[in-house]
Amino acid sequence: MNNALVRVENLSHRYSIQWAVKDVSFEIPQNGIYGLLGSNGAGKSTTMNIMSGVLRQSQGNIYIKGIDMSRDPISAKKLIGFLPQKPPLYLDTTVEEYLTNCAQLRKIGSKDLKTAVEEVMDICSITHFRKRLIKNLSGGYQQRVGIAQAIIHKPALIVLDEPTNGLDPNQIIGIRGLIKEIAKECAVLLSTHMLTEVQAICDYILMIESGKLVFSGKTEEFDNYLAPNSIKVRLLEMPSVDVLMKIDGVESVEELGGPDYRFRFDNLNGAAERIVKESVKQDWRLEEINLEKNSLNDVFSALSK
């Protein structure tokens, strides 16, 4: 039996004659933070809207804790919290009024309603704003109210669309910390176009490009998707590039300023050892040598092709 929190099977959707998502399958097996990456128009929003029950797919199935979204959408949606890119806030209500209304919409009984509202205000650090009109809150605190409505019914899956978009650096750090706390109790799927956001917060990455899933795995696996091909070296004697190019297997040498160089090889096997041996032989006074990893931008670009 498959015990995944979320299972997406052969998901496809089209608008008119154009397929926005085509035959996408993946699982969210457990609690944690899952980043959904992709270029503009790649199919991210369509996938998130279908998973949230906002849009009905053309083909395929989605299961939330084993419940088929198509066959029993009400039961499945009870297990989902959703925060779209623009938070669905009623700006002329107070924080407490708004969250009380959200709890009622989520069918939280009158006996538990007050407790549920108090709990999410505490989790999201907005209790001290309970009587303030939402329109008088900063963007960061409005986002916290939006997150509070998404978690008030304690869902198994929370879907966040660009949760830090438009926030200042301090607000971004605060929202990241909040998401990490929430992810201890449920699975969080967040869409973002900022690769630094993925690196800072996500445990797993799902990447969609041209409507197809092109990567699914841990963040470290995404980081290492491309094999590195360069070595950064500091040589105090500063030999010429022409001399360094004579080392076996070197494709290019870049002067980085002062005693620093970047070597590129067609194959890194044994490359560092060859540099060290040549440095000792020529007395270049090797001070530092590092294998350079590809940037997230490099990986994203390669997967987008």
CATH of the domain at 111: 3.40.50.300
CA–CA dist 150, 183 (Å, integer): 13
Would you call 274 exposed, middle or buried from its count of C-beta atoms within 10 A (0-12, 13-18, 19+)? middle
Average pLDDT score over residue span 38-55: 88
Q: What is the pTM of this model?
A: 0.78
Task: Single out the residue in 188, 203, 223 at which a domain terminates.
Answer: 223
pLDDT for 239-272, tens place per residue? 999 999 999 989 899 999 999 999 988 777 888 9
Residue 166 has pLDDT above 90, yes or no: no
- Which domain covers residue 163, as residue numbers? 6-223
Residue 235 has pLDDT above 70, yes or no: yes
Sequence-distant (6+) residues with CB within 8 A of 169 are none
Q: What is the residue whose two structure tokens read 């007395």?
A: 283
Task: Single out the residue in 179, 197, 223 at which a domain terminates.
Answer: 223
The two structure tokens encoding residue 62 = 């989605």
Share of the chain above pLDDT 70, in %: 96
Q: Which of 79-93, 95-109, 221-235, 252-266 has the lowest mean pLDDT?
A: 221-235
| Distance between start and end Cα atoms, the chain | 36
Query: What is the 8-class DSSP label of residue 90?
Result: -
Task: Single out the residue in 204, 223, 242 at which a domain terminates.
Answer: 223
213 within a domain of the structure (yes/no):
yes
Cross-strand pairs, 35: 190, 205
The two structure tokens encoding residue 258 = 């002062």
pLDDT for 103-128, tens place per residue? 999 999 888 999 999 999 999 999 99
Long-range contacts of 297-305 (CB under 8 A, 24+ apart): 297/195, 298/226, 299/222, 299/223, 299/225, 299/226, 300/37, 300/195, 300/207, 302/225, 302/226, 303/207, 303/209, 303/214, 303/215, 303/225, 304/39, 304/209, 304/214
CA angle 167, 144, 166 (to 5 degrees): 15
- Asked if residue 210 and residue 105 are part of one domain, the reply reads yes
The pLDDT of residue 1 is 46
Mean per-residue pLDDT over the chain, rounded: 90
